[in-house]
Amino acid sequence: MNYDFDLFVIGGGSGGVRAARLAGNLGKRVALAEEYRMGGTCVIRGCVPKKLMVYASTYSEAFRESAAFGWSHGEAVFDWPKFIMAKDNEISRLEALYRKGLTTNNVKIFDSRARLVDRHTIEIMATGQRVTAQTILIATGGYVAIPDDLVGQELCITSNEIFDLKEKPNSILIAGGGYIAVEFANIMHGLGIETTLVYRGDLILRKFDLEVRQLLAQFMADKGINIIYGSTIKRVASNDHGPKLRVTLSNSEELCVDEVLLAMGRAPNTQALGLEVAGVAVGQNGAIIVDKYMRTNVANIYAVGDVTDRVQLTPVAIHEAMCVVETVFRNNPTSPDLELVPTAVFSQPEIGTIGLTEEDAAKTYTNLEVYRALFRPMRNTITGNSEQTLMKLLVDGDTQLIVGAHLMGAGASEMVQLLGIAVKGKLTKQIYDKTMAVHPTAAEELVTMYHASYRYQNGIRIN
C-alpha cells in the first residue's frame, strides 16, 4: 500500500520534534501535527520558562548577600511585566528554531490537533483532512492533573498559567509536594511573594533521598516559606476584601491569598486521540503501553515521552525518539537505557541526584558504605547565610561501585550531569579517590571523602 507519509508524528514537543527532524534528515516523508505551539511542555510552559524564573528569583538573595562582599546599592525592585516580556521573547525565539529545524528537514507541519482513525490513518481535526502513514509516533506528553472533587478549581492556576500572569501576586498558595511544587515555592518566595506550600504527605519530594528531603524542607522553612503538611485544598472561593481568594483546607484552616497554584502531578495526555479505534492499548492511568523499543501493541504505532508515563523527563523523551528512528528507519533496533538517569530539582538550594536513595540502597546491598559531607560553602561564611551543602555517595562495599549519589547546593544540577557519566560508566570509588581535587570548589568533596561516614550491614546502620 502507498502511504502519504513514512512517518506521522502526533505532538510537537521535544520528543516528537526530534523524531520528525531525524527521520526527515534521512530523506523520509514526514509530517507532524501540533495543536498549540512547537516545543511542547518543556519549551513553552515547563523546563525553559521555569529555569528563567529560577534565575530571576535568585537575584533577591544575591543582592542582599552582596553587601557582605563590599557592595552597596539602593533597594532592588523586581519588574514582573518586564520579566514576562523577556521570557515570552525567548520562548518565541526557541519555538521559531524548532519550526526551522523541522522545515529545514522537509517535515510538513500541521498546526492542528490530530487523532487516529485507524492504525494507518490520521485526521487533521482543524480541517477534517485525512492522511495515511506507514509509521505513526505518538508524542503528546502529559497534562496537569486536577482533582475532580476540588470545589472552585476554576479559580486556580496551574504550571501552565503561572508563566503568563499579568501582575505579580502578593501571596500564593501552592498545592503539592513534588518537584514542580517545590521549585515554584522557591521561585515565588525569591520574587518577594508570600508563599505557602500545602502537601498531603508528611515531607516534600517523596521518593527522593530522605536526608535531602529533610534538609531542603528545613532550609525552605528557615527562609520563610510556610509549609503545611497532612492537608489538602478542600475549597477555593472568591474573597470580597484583600487577597482575591479564600481557601479552605482539609484540616479546616483558612487562608486568603492572591493565587492558588495546583501542582499535584501530571497525567498522560491520551484523551481523544483515537487510540481505541486504532486498537492501541493503554494502562489504568491512560498511559500508552510500549515495549522496550517504544512500540505499542499495534506494530506500526510507537509512543515516546510522558505519554507512556515511564520516566517523565525531557531528555528521556528525546533519547527515546532517537531510538525509534534507529529502530524503524535504520534497521537498528535500539532501546533506551533507563537505569541510572541523573536528574535535578531546581529548588534553592538545588538538588542533583542519580541512582538509589540511601534507604533503598541499604535494603538492596548487604554491605553499603555511605560517604557524606555536610558543610557551609565558602560563600556563606562571608554572608552569614546558614544554608549548607550536602554531598553523599552510596557505595556497594563488595564491588566499590557507586550505586547512588545525592547533591544539594549551588551548582548541584551541573555537578550531577558530570557525576552521572562516572556512575553510568561504573567507575569505582577508588577512581574517585585517585582523582585530584579542584580547589576551592564544592565539587572537590566528591573526590576527597576518603573514609566512609558510616555503613549498613544487612540493612542495619553501623556507625
**Per-residue pLDDT in tens (0 to 9) along the chain, 463 residues:** 799 999 999 999 999 999 999 999 999 999 999 999 999 989 998 999 999 999 999 999 999 999 999 998 888 899 999 999 999 999 999 999 999 999 999 999 999 999 999 999 999 999 999 999 999 999 999 999 998 889 999 999 999 999 999 999 999 999 999 999 999 999 999 999 999 999 999 999 999 999 999 999 999 999 999 999 999 999 999 998 889 999 999 999 999 999 999 999 899 999 999 999 999 999 989 999 999 999 999 999 999 999 999 999 999 999 999 999 999 999 999 999 999 999 999 999 999 999 999 999 999 999 999 999 999 999 999 998 989 999 999 999 999 999 999 999 999 999 999 999 999 999 999 999 999 999 999 999 999 999 999 999 999 999 8
Same-domain check for residues 353 and 438: yes
Same-domain check for residues 102 and 224: no
Residue 366, domain CATH: 3.30.390.30
Same-domain check for residues 20 and 135: yes
Q: Is 189 a catalytic residue?
A: no
Same-domain check for residues 218 and 320: no
Lookup: cell for 397? 562495599
Same-domain check for residues 157 and 244: yes
Domain boundary residue, one of 264, 292, 310: 264
Same-domain check for residues 132 and 271: yes
> Is residue 462 one of the residues assigned to a domain?
no
**Counted domains in the chain:** 3
Residue 32, domain CATH: 3.50.50.60
- Predicted pLDDT of residue 406: 98
- Predicted pLDDT of residue 428: 97
Same-domain check for residues 297 and 348: no
Same-domain check for residues 244 and 277: no
- Tell me which of 73, 241, 439, 451 is the catalytic residue: 439
> Is residue 148 one of the residues assigned to a domain?
no
- Count the neighbouring beta carbons within 10 Å of the beta carbon of residue 117: 15
Same-domain check for residues 271 and 137: yes
- Predicted pLDDT of residue 76: 86
Same-domain check for residues 313 and 368: no
> Is residue 463 one of the residues assigned to a domain?
no
**Residues 306, 310, 316, CA angle at the centre, nearest 5°?**
65
Same-domain check for residues 285 and 247: no
- Predicted pLDDT of residue 426: 97
- Predicted pLDDT of residue 148: 87
List, in order, residues 6 or more apart from 82 with CB less than 8 Å away: none
> Is residue 394 one of the residues assigned to a domain?
yes
Pairing verdict, β 460-462 and 367-375: unpaired
Lookup: cell for 340? 541510572
Strand partners of residue 345: 351
Whether 212 and 206 have beta carbons less than 8 Å apart is answered as: no
List, in order, residues 6 or more apart from 380 with CB less than 8 Å away: 386, 387, 388
Whether 403 and 339 have beta carbons less than 8 Å apart is answered as: no
**Residues 187, 191, 196, CA angle at the centre, nearest 5°?**
60
> Is residue 337 one of the residues assigned to a domain?
no
- Predicted pLDDT of residue 122: 98
Domain boundary residue, one of 231, 246, 264: 264
- Predicted pLDDT of residue 74: 81
Handedness of CA 373, 378, 382, 387 (dihedral sign): negative
- Predicted pLDDT of residue 284: 87
- Predicted pLDDT of residue 73: 80
Distance CA 118, CA 151 (A): 39
What residues make up the domain containing 158? Answer: 153-264
- Predicted pLDDT of residue 241: 85
pTM above 0.85, yes or no: yes
Domain boundary residue, one of 237, 264, 291: 264
**Cα dist from 239 to 149, 165, 172, 195, whole Å:** 20, 19, 14, 18
Phi-psi label, residue 409: left if phi above 0, alpha if psi -120 to 50, beta otherwise: left
> Is residue 19 one of the residues assigned to a domain?
yes
> Is residue 335 one of the residues assigned to a domain?
no
- Count the neighbouring beta carbons within 10 Å of the beta carbon of residue 429: 21
Same-domain check for residues 163 and 243: yes
> Is residue 294 one of the residues assigned to a domain?
yes
List, in order, residues 6 or more apart from 364 with CB less than 8 Å away: 356, 403
